Structure 1
Amino acid sequence: MVVLGLISLFMGYQASQIQLSYDFAKVLPDDDPVYIEYENFKKMFGEDGNVMVIGFQDKNLFELNKFNDWYTLSNDIKNIQGVKELMSIAKLYTIRRNDSLSKFDFIQIVNHPLRSQQELDSIKTVITSLPFYEGLVYNKNTGANLMAITFTKKDLNSKHRIEMVHQIKALTDVFEKKYNLKLHYSGMPYIRTAFMEKISGEMGLFLGLAVLVMSFILWVFFRSFSAVFFSIIVVAIGVVWSLGTIHLFGYRITVLSGLVAPLIMVIGIPNCVFLINKYHSEFSAHGNKMKALTRMIKTIGVSLFLANITTAIGFGVLYFTNSIMLVEFGVVAAINVMATYAITLILIPIILSFLPVPSVKQTKHLEGKRINKILTSIDYLVLNKRSTI
């Protein structure tokens, strides 16, 4: 118990340090032809995975107050830490020939809030005279306008990306509400942020639902608070170990590894059910507590080992897929399936040895008429209707 407690404390500390993966999910192995073709494409044409796009439709953007607010919004977003560059209709550049230096200079068209509608009209004339931006940043026929934001690679692949996207969203919400517009958001940084927030939320949701469902099933079968409580505690230790293993191996939470915790919960609870059920069955037969615990370990322990080792091998096979996400998921799942088995086989007998002997109410599930009737029917069909089946 002491050793398991110390290991669990260590794993709990490791689990507290775990982080979400903010990198682009890499599913294909490095030698996959499709992945190689994708890498060659990026070398030739580059990638736009760091661009967040904000768009809206408004044919009246070239009104003084509205345009100045869009210009101010563009500057405010550009000043957010981690934002590399920004392009919008209020932050465009034109090219001027520098004869003295024999080069072209890039001149920002708007570099201060405009003072009059006449000044804005002249700026509009300059912008519309540059066909390069037509259809790229704005559409004069539909009134569609676009803002493109790029991020530094360091901030893009870190937790700070979520904070940046939230800051941008907070600023644009003010503009959207003030002018009663509908702003649309897209781009990989925005999509990946929403995706990771959903993963972190659903991880807790799935784990919570697993606990509730398993607790209900345990209560229906055993009608015992202690059986439910200690089974959940034992499996929760396995969940902590699984999260600790992820950090211990230098991994991060991905869309797949986020399923390890609910998976361990679902696999670990049946281990507890089999052990407790066998203990109740043996105790009901002869009334000797220690004898019931001994037989429980000898009989169910071996069966559970075979069931868990085959499950672990199934997950372990993913190690040979050469896909980083599948390898990480397979390694963590395989190790912790067996770790949860060991935790269950050690703690459940120890806990049961300290608890009072099961009451008649707690062992009543062994005489359940409905379950026994179903099992008897299946037994009859298997033994007497083999040809028909």
Structure 2
Amino acid sequence: MFKLLTTGFWEAIARLILRNKIFILIAIIAATVFFGLQWKHMRFTYTEANMLPDEHEVNLTYKDFLKVFGEEGNLIVLGVKDSTLFTVKQLNAWNRLAESFKSYDEVETVLSIKDLQKLVKNTKKEQFETEPFIKDSISSLAEINTLQNELFKKYPFYDNFLFNSETKTIRTAIYIKKDIVNTSARKDFIINVLEEKIEDFETATTLDVRVSGMPYIRTLNSQNIVDEIPIFIGAALFVTSLIFFLFFRSFRATFISLIVVCVGVMWTFGILGLLGYEITVLTALIPPLIIVIGIPNCIFLINKYQHEVKSHGNKVKSLQRVITKIGNATLMTNVTTASGFATFILTESKLLKEFGIVASLSILAIFILCLLIIPIIYTFLPYPKQRHLEHLNKRWIGGFVDWMERMVKHKKITIYVTALILIIVSMIGMNQIRISGSLIEDMPKNKQFFKDIRFFEEEFNGIMPLEIMVDTKRKKGVMKLATLKRINQLEELIEETPELSKPISVVSLVKYSKQAYYNGNPKYYQLPTSQENSFILSYAKNSSSNVDMLKNFVDSTGQYARITTFMKDIGTDKMERIQENLQNKIDKVFPEERYEVTMTGKALVFQKGTKYLVRNLVISLTLAIFLISLFMAYLFRSFRMIIVSLIPNLLPLLVTAGIMGFIGVPIKPSTILVFSIAFGISVDDTIHFLAKYRQELQANHWKIRKSVYAALRETGVSMFYTSIVLFFGFSVFTISSFGGTVALGALVSITLLFAMLSNLLLLPSLLLSLERSIANKEVLRKPTIDIIPEEDDSEMDSENEL
């Protein structure tokens, strides 16, 4: 009954499509216009990818920190390492550049060498006052020498913040207003103001200005994502259409396929706009993915049409059979592919959920477009010319199929031994895979902003903020000398850690206050004793300048203190070790009943997010395997067939994991996607092969060997065509400047190539070796869904009715 319903259903679909072609075309055009109008709602991301659920403990800790101290990723730094900077002309120009940013609404504060203030003791007023190092502008070389002597030797408070006293590297700090850090205003300021001013300055002075800081990195990184979208789409269209043309030798068929996938891309952008999702490094991959996945659909449909036309010359019957015979199989394969992407929806990561939703909807949409547009367009076109059908008789394809058949017939042991060796070697490689929680590892290595990140890591030990918040559980608890001493002990460990920069906190300010009390003598840059504390703090309380400086390190109630350090780009293992060392020190120094100390910051959130995604990888891949297993069980109603169908598809995943371990590609947000995507796509070949195998079993009276070879010859060509398109289509991503995107493209391409060979060699071999145990006629004779309907000569009423 299911079989009759299924066959009848697809025959009804064929009649509906071909008899209502004008109406359907109008509906497609209307839908495309509708989706086109949704493009205006597309948004580009202005924040880092947060892979953790909103309610995750790490996110909640970070949000608590932001509530107390506000946005922490609002610092942009400019740096120069050049001895010629220390001339009157150059240093004045550098100070003027910093001064020029202060007039912009987007800027909260600018700190440069000219803004640095000495703390000076006023004995009469019993307070500290500030005195600028540079009162107006530099007028002589002697002033510069005095400035260098004071800054680099006498005032450690500023060392490693606005200058490196050892290398003489100078920095300027620009703090963007916190309310625009995650908006388009940040991008406009950086692209249209900051970069233009720096370019003009470099031209005028010939100095090389390095720029970094999280707002700057995020802006240029996002801009690179946006810039690469049209490149990916263009490259995917060119590569897939070229391969398509080389296979079919038909401009007409190639043009039709391009129309279909271009409409699919328009719908994908429309879905993004309709759902209000941001374009991130992941969702930016979906439009070219749709091209790569859509072209194989076109190959199956057009190849079937040309086979049918060559067989009997009846265009109406050919188009009917394209829909009834290939429509169902294409639906099944697209559903399994969409399932591979849809498993990400079940994770708690917003980033992956949005990617899974848009990708799975877009895959189903491209299937509908292929099924509707291709048969309808061919109803208006003349019969294919003889040269368009020549590819059906290509000898080299026949040679490839003959080679596969010989291997399956005579080299089964070789196939099994090769598969076993691959499994063993791959498992060894898997043990070497590392996890990467780096914020910048995937960024374009050839871009100047990435080189600048490395520059600031070398000069100032990093630009990725790591924040430690100390809750004293009582108002004004921070300024207690006991608390300051505990913070100082923690800072000593931070200073001893080479991967972390010199910490900035209230302790530094208190030390600076003691130095000022002793008339600027640098040997007194230390915490005051209990006897000194009361009168030094009384000076500090009378000083408005100290209050202004204090607000960056202590909240308004005096209950919370902030320790800021910056971290180098290090691996997850090192980061976890550093975090563990810091936590051990915190547990030892800060009694739990009196203090609550938390670590947070962009670097830590990203690292935890990567670990979280790795766990979700296992969940999503397991779900993909489970869902597709259920699907195979529903199709073939045989547990043995599920096992047989999974083995050729799991082997390529093991090989890919092994390759990642051997060549040092880490598990990270981009490469996590490889396995679910590749599994969802590769299982399509298995479905095609097993569906044809079942059909051949019925036609050949359950003769296993004859049916396996017939299925291999029938499906081998289409599987080869589509696998080549997918291989080169995903290879397009290797032109990206993002390391993660390159790895994604290369790894999926390799996996799909192995999957093709596995399905064409290992799967038939398993069927032959296990023929007695799986050749259950009752199981395979009556499938739940008839994927490829049996041949019949039924035709539609007449071509005139179309």
TM-score w.r.t. the length of structure 1 is: 0.90
Would the alpha carbon gap of residues 377 and 154 (structure 1) be closer, same or farther in structure 2, given more than 3 Å must change?
same
Q: What residue number does 2:362 align with?
A: 336
Alignment partners' CA distance in 2, 1:316 and 1:377: 37
Alignment partners' CA distance in 2, 1:384 and 1:299: 32
Determine if the alignment matches structure 1 residue 301 to structure 2 residue 327: yes
**1:102 Cα deviation from its structure 2 partner:** 8.3
**1:31 Cα deviation from its structure 2 partner:** 4.7
Would the alpha carbon gap of residues 383 and 124 (structure 1) be closer, same or farther in structure 2, given more than 3 Å must change?
closer
Q: What residue number does 1:165 align with?
A: 190
SS of residue matched to 2:232: helix
Which shifted more, 41-50 or 161-170? 41-50
Question: Pick from 151, 176, 181: which aligns with 2:207?
Answer: 181
| One-letter code aligned to 1:296 | V
**1:340 Cα deviation from its structure 2 partner:** 0.8
Alignment partners' CA distance in 2, 1:10 and 1:286: 40
Q: What residue number does 1:355 align with?
A: 381
Which shifted more, 41-50 or 306-315? 41-50
Determine if the alignment matches structure 1 residue 65 to structure 2 residue 98: no
Q: What residue number does 2:247 align with?
A: 221
Q: Is the 8 A contact 1:67 1:90 kept in 2?
A: no
**1:263 Cα deviation from its structure 2 partner:** 0.6
Q: What residue number does 1:2 align with?
A: 26
Alignment partners' CA distance in 1, 2:379 and 2:124: 93
Q: What residue number does 1:90 align with?
A: 114
For 1:16-31, what aligned pairs fall within 5 Å after superposition?
16-31=40-55
Determine if the alignment matches structure 1 residue 151 to structure 2 residue 176: yes
Which shifted more, 57-66 or 12-21? 57-66
| One-letter code aligned to 1:245 | I
Determine if the alignment matches structure 1 residue 247 to structure 2 residue 273: yes
Q: Is the 8 A contact 2:41 2:276 kept in 1?
A: no
Would the alpha carbon gap of residues 364 and 36 (structure 1) be closer, same or farther in structure 2, given more than 3 Å must change?
same
SS of residue matched to 1:361: helix
Alignment partners' CA distance in 2, 1:122 and 1:13: 64
SS of residue matched to 1:90: helix
SS of residue matched to 2:54: coil
Question: Pick from 286, 297, 301: which aligns with 1:275?
Answer: 301
Q: What residue number does 1:259 align with?
A: 285
**1:170 Cα deviation from its structure 2 partner:** 2.2
Q: Is the 8 A contact 1:8 1:237 kept in 2?
A: yes
Question: Pick from 340, 343, 360: which aligns with 1:317?
Answer: 343
| One-letter code aligned to 2:308 | E
Determine if the alignment matches structure 1 residue 56 to structure 2 residue 80: yes
Write out per-residue CA displacement over residues 242-295 of structure 1, whole angstroms, 9 at most, x where no aligned residue. Answer: 111111111010000000001111111111111000000000000000100000
Question: Pick from 154, 161, 170: which aligns with 1:136?
Answer: 161
Question: Pick from 281, 299, 314: which aligns with 1:288?
Answer: 314
**1:64 Cα deviation from its structure 2 partner:** 2.7
**1:96 Cα deviation from its structure 2 partner:** 6.0
SS of residue matched to 2:44: coil
Q: What residue number does 2:745 align with?
A: none
Alignment partners' CA distance in 2, 1:253 and 1:102: 57
Which shifted more, 112-121 or 144-153? 112-121
Alignment partners' CA distance in 1, 2:172 and 2:254: 55
Q: What residue number does 2:634 align with?
A: none
Gaps of 5+ in 2: 1-24, 416-802
Question: Pick from 36, 54, 57: which aligns with 1:12?
Answer: 36
Would the alpha carbon gap of residues 384 and 292 (structure 1) be closer, same or farther in structure 2, given more than 3 Å must change?
farther
**1:14 Cα deviation from its structure 2 partner:** 1.2
**1:67 Cα deviation from its structure 2 partner:** 2.4
Alignment partners' CA distance in 2, 1:276 and 1:65: 71
**1:162 Cα deviation from its structure 2 partner:** 2.9
Which shifted more, 63-72 or 103-112? 103-112
Alignment partners' CA distance in 2, 1:245 and 1:108: 56
**1:314 Cα deviation from its structure 2 partner:** 1.4
Alignment partners' CA distance in 1, 2:375 and 2:135: 75
Q: Is the 8 A contact 1:74 1:91 kept in 2?
A: no
Q: Is the 8 A contact 2:78 2:209 kept in 1?
A: yes
Q: Is the 8 A contact 2:42 2:276 kept in 1?
A: no
Question: Pick from 194, 219, 228: which aligns with 1:193?
Answer: 219
Which shifted more, 344-353 or 137-146? 137-146
Q: What residue number does 2:104 align with?
A: 80
SS of residue matched to 1:30: coil
Q: Is the 8 A contact 2:319 2:375 kept in 1?
A: yes
Which shifted more, 242-251 or 181-190? 181-190
Write out per-residue CA displacement over residues 96-119 of structure 1, whole angstroms, 9 at most, x where no aligned residue. Answer: 678999876666655744566677
Q: Is the 8 A contact 1:210 1:266 kept in 2?
A: yes
**1:188 Cα deviation from its structure 2 partner:** 1.0
Alignment partners' CA distance in 2, 1:347 and 1:164: 46
Identity of aligned residues (%): 37
Q: Is the 8 A contact 1:59 1:140 kept in 2?
A: no
Write out per-residue CA displacement over residues 178-217 of structure 1, whole angstroms, 9 at most, x where no aligned residue. Answer: 3332222221112112211221122221111110111111
Alignment partners' CA distance in 2, 1:243 and 1:101: 66
Rg bigger for which structure? 2
| One-letter code aligned to 1:67 | L
Gaps of 5+ in 1: none
Alignment partners' CA distance in 2, 1:316 and 1:135: 48
Q: What residue number does 1:233 align with?
A: 259
Which shifted more, 198-207 or 328-337? 198-207
Alignment partners' CA distance in 2, 1:74 and 1:136: 15
Q: Is the 8 A contact 1:64 1:120 kept in 2?
A: yes
**1:230 Cα deviation from its structure 2 partner:** 1.4
Q: Is the 8 A contact 1:54 1:146 kept in 2?
A: yes
Alignment partners' CA distance in 2, 1:213 and 1:177: 41
Would the alpha carbon gap of residues 59 and 34 (structure 1) be closer, same or farther in structure 2, given more than 3 Å must change?
same
| One-letter code aligned to 1:378 | M
Would the alpha carbon gap of residues 72 and 273 (structure 1) be closer, same or farther in structure 2, given more than 3 Å must change?
same
Would the alpha carbon gap of residues 135 and 221 (structure 1) be closer, same or farther in structure 2, given more than 3 Å must change?
closer
Q: Is the 8 A contact 2:41 2:274 kept in 1?
A: no
Q: Is the 8 A contact 2:162 2:172 kept in 1?
A: yes
| One-letter code aligned to 1:63 | T
Would the alpha carbon gap of residues 99 and 327 (structure 1) be closer, same or farther in structure 2, given more than 3 Å must change?
farther
TM-score w.r.t. the length of structure 2 is: 0.45
- How many residues get paired? 389
**1:53 Cα deviation from its structure 2 partner:** 1.3
| One-letter code aligned to 2:167 | T
**1:45 Cα deviation from its structure 2 partner:** 7.9
Which shifted more, 216-225 or 80-89? 80-89
**1:59 Cα deviation from its structure 2 partner:** 4.3
Alignment partners' CA distance in 2, 1:132 and 1:311: 58
Alignment partners' CA distance in 1, 2:328 and 2:90: 74
Alignment partners' CA distance in 1, 2:77 and 2:111: 10
**1:304 Cα deviation from its structure 2 partner:** 0.3
